[in-house]
Chains A and B, each alone.
Chain A
């Protein structure tokens, strides 16, 4: 239900239609070819709906209007004050159009009125277009956002790239560890398991900040490298507050999600299989490649899918160590959810993320087969 509710929000545009029903009704009669500005009736309807509408509802509607064109909110707020004076004195103007233009010349700017056209329907696709750096022009055609407002497409691509890298790194690092875990004598493997799980149980924030301490310019790693003379003091590597930092920290944080499913699969592969393969004449490398590795595929896929799914929606770590260019789509979702309160855009971004996941799931099922997943 919450998911469905969020998905509905990504296309829902009904709230504003309950606030300005008459305005929109009159607006639809406006012939944009003939008249530069909307007719008197539109101004009048808007005046009345602002004057007598519920304040909170109007406030919400203004937020929505600002998404279609920034400036709407302040324009109407300023105008509202004038309208209130008028209503108080009961000195209603003869021409609402002239009155409004008089209070603020922006009412004569047709671009505001064009932007209103986006909100006439109960449903809108504007949030989805926004989520991929597109918007509507005055004729309601889909166009690219202004260059300085394009952020999402590159973030999407970066999110994909980082997720794939993190998954691959986790696989490369996790495979030998899981193999050791599954094959060491019990007392060593228990100890190793604790090393794997300890970070897993530690707070995410603590681990992330620990990485900042490790990686920053004056941090532990740079310090040691400089001390060893490998780096000069000015040549300290920037390992954090960029994509590198995001990759390092996310790989470490998500590693257990790769190791654990791999381990549970490897644990049940009988040791006799490698022996049998060698007994049959295969060298150890060949035996590994032909007999052992194929049997770990369920674990690799489970771990890979888990890490990928978690990575693609990750936001705390990239937010903290990613700096400006390490930000992933999850950060934007959180930003719009909590800061701008643009839940329509939040929902649209989330829905696209969900769509991505379903596509990957489908692809995975096609290639590997979902019943091949094994978590334990």
Chain B
């Protein structure tokens, strides 16, 4: 997929600065294959929307070039790029009906009336709004407006669809429902999608690959499972999913593993060497809450104890907040198997596998 011969969209050494001093996007290299659903995920101000706007043609890169289907597109104006886009607040034209909104891109392309009508109806049917053509956007609910925006971005059969936090304005249930719907539409018509969001669950649900942005740099570009299970740096580990951290100094490196002395003499942890150079480096250890086990006796594992600070009953599991090695935000998820009888204040025996501890940068 990363083969540049295959890449459909290619960002090559893109820098972007608005004021000539601060780079909002730094040396971005990104390849997107045809038919892929790639999400740019990151906190606000991380450069993801800027990247999307450069692709849409509303911003020009300060350095570097963007290729679409092997052709450089920096000099092509947005209206000739044939890229569909779903805007954050939909940007439906309030003075046009739903049908008029959808036929607008076809009209400007001088497509015949009959064809236009046909395509508009098909697009509306696709988002299950076949009967709503004569309504005005203001007469639709948020979710329906979202679908219209989606249909409008697809109706002129663009080469690529961009979505800029399209579900941000919807309530939680509708957002989840729309995530599946967008995913299904993508699966069905096989169009390339570049999606921008700050919501990690949205990214994990829909994407083939996710590019995690922070501070104008892609921190990691990977499939959802690898991002979650094998974060390459502490930002990704923190940003995606829940994460327990312990800080320390690397004592010794053995091939792909290492041992780390925790700060303040809390003990030594065996971990995977991921983002450290060698002995003496400061490091942050990352352990997913669900990889910590209670009361098991495995001599190869890291064995520690923690005092229960807080227990939260969540039905399928119990969420325990513990004080472990000086970190009182240490979360453990205990599956609700009916045998958990500890109270707040109890001390638990904890253990975790060295392979599940990742020694990352600090």
Contact = CB atoms under 8 A, between A and B. Distances in A.
Interface of A: 270, 272-273, 275-284, 286-287, 290-291, 294-295
Interface in B83-139: 83-85, 87-89, 91, 93-95, 104-105, 108-109
A272 B109 contact: no
Contacts of A282: 79, 104-105, 108
Contacts of A290: 104
Contact of B78 (A272, A278, A286): A278
Contact of B84 (A270, A278, A279): A279
Nearest to A286: B108
Interface residues of B, number: 25
Contacts of B105: 280-282
Nearest to B78: A278
Nearest to A273: B91
Given A272-B87, A272-B88, A272-B89, A280 B104 contact: yes
A270 B109 CA distance: 24
Contacts of B108: 280-283, 286
Contacts of B93: 273, 276-277, 291, 295
Contacts, number: 64
Contacts of B109: 281
22 contacts: A273-B93, A275-B85, A275-B87, A275-B91, A276-B85, A276-B87, A276-B93, A277-B104, A278-B57, A279-B83, A280-B79, A280-B104, A280-B105, A280-B108, A280-B152, A281-B82, A281-B109, A281-B156, A282-B105, A283-B79, A295-B94, A295-B95
A275 B58 contact: yes
B56 interface: yes
B90 to A, nearest CB: 8
Given A270-B89, A272-B87, A272-B88, 12 more contacts: A275-B56, A276-B85, A276-B93, A278-B78, A280-B104, A280-B105, A280-B108, A281-B79, A282-B79, A295-B93, A295-B94, A295-B95
A280 B79 CA distance: 7
A276 B79 contact: no
Given A286-B108, A290-B104, A278 B91 contact: no
A245 B57 CA distance: 48
B335 interface: no
Interface of B: 56-58, 77-85, 87-89, 91, 93-95, 104-105, 108-109, 152, 156
Nearest to B155: A280
A295 B108 CA distance: 19
Nearest to A282: B108
Contacts of A270: 89, 91
Contact of A279 (B56, B88, B89, B94): B56
Contact of B91 (A272, A283, A284, A286): A272
A279 B58 CA distance: 9
A279 B104 contact: no
Contacts of A277: 93, 104
Nearest to B79: A278
A281 B84 CA distance: 9
Q: Which 3 A-B pairs have the closest CB atoms?
A: A280-B105, A276-B91, A272-B91
A125 B78 CA distance: 66
A132 to B, nearest CB: 41
Given A280-B105, A286-B108, A294-B95, A275 B78 contact: yes
Residue of A277, A280, A294 most packed against chain B (CB within 10 A): A280
Contacts of B85: 275-276, 279
A281 B95 CA distance: 18
A270 B81 CA distance: 22
Residue in B87, B91, B156 with the greatest tally of chain A CB atoms within 10 Å? B91
A279 B95 contact: no
Contacts of A291: 93, 104
Interface centre among B88, B94, B109, B156 (most CB of A within 10 A): B94
A373 to B, nearest CB: 15
Contacts of A286: 108
Contacts of B91: 270, 272-273, 275-276
Nearest to B100: A290
B66 to A, nearest CB: 15
Contacts of A280: 79, 84, 104-105, 108, 152, 156
A291 B88 CA distance: 18
Contacts of B81: 279
A270 B88 CA distance: 11
A46 to B, nearest CB: 70
Contacts of A294: 95
A275 B55 CA distance: 13
Contacts of B82: 281
A279 B84 CA distance: 6
Nearest to A276: B91
Q: Which of B56, B105, B152 has the most CB of A within 10 A?
A: B105
Contacts of B88: 272
Nearest to B152: A280
Contacts of B57: 278-279
B99 to A, nearest CB: 14
A275 B109 CA distance: 17
Contacts of A284: 79
Nearest to A290: B104
A291 B93 CA distance: 7
A353 B191 CA distance: 63
A275 B56 CA distance: 9
Nearest to A292: B93
B73 to A, nearest CB: 13
Contacts of B84: 279-280
Contacts of B80: 281
B29 to A, nearest CB: 25
Contacts of B79: 278-284, 287
A264 to B, nearest CB: 16
A278 B77 contact: yes
Nearest to B87: A272
Contacts of A283: 77, 79, 108
B155 to A, nearest CB: 9
Nearest to B81: A279
A151 B88 CA distance: 61
